[in-house]
Amino acid sequence: MTDVTNDMPAQPYWKTKNMAEMSRKEWEDLCDGCGKCCCIRLEDEDTADIYITDVVCKLFDAGTCQCTDYPNRSKKVPDCVTLTPDNVDKLHWMPRTCAYRLISEGKDLPDYHHLVSGSRETIHEVGMSVQDAVVSETQVDEDELHHRLVVWPGEPDIGG
């Protein structure tokens, strides 16, 4: 009897598990590090359209696209949203390129995602992150936010 091994590579976890089945590490690894979710958004009270700015949370490091105090972010920034398998599909303001959103919508990860490319730098190299393109909310007057609307790559036009 010959030993036959399966040469087919195993499917990656984001294709075989639903979000609730993922380990904490797998869940955290889904984050592509784009930083778009850390940008301040404005909502039009009349139309409910969401507008994104180039102004980020005070804890965001624009060079690394990382939170400077991730474990304590919800304490320091009470309106910081913690993504969970239970709420990810309800947060329609999340970037359309967000890995969590893509997976919850049954889509695959893009080639520039670090779990596909093998490098956390790919997302920055292809211009799909906000790296070095944002300013901290500590440096912008709240009344000026409506002058700082942007459309990040991969996102819909303003108001869309």
- Check the CA dihedral 93-96-100-106 and report its sign: positive
Note the maximum CA span of the chain. 76
Amino acid at 145: L
Return the pLDDT at 73.
95
pTM here is 0.87
Return the pLDDT at 156.
77
pLDDT of 2 over the 70 cut? no
Using one digit for the tens of pLDDT, what is the confidence trace for 66-117? 999 999 999 999 999 999 999 998 998 899 999 999 999 999 999 999 999 9
pLDDT of 5 over the 70 cut? no
d(CA 94, CA 51): 11
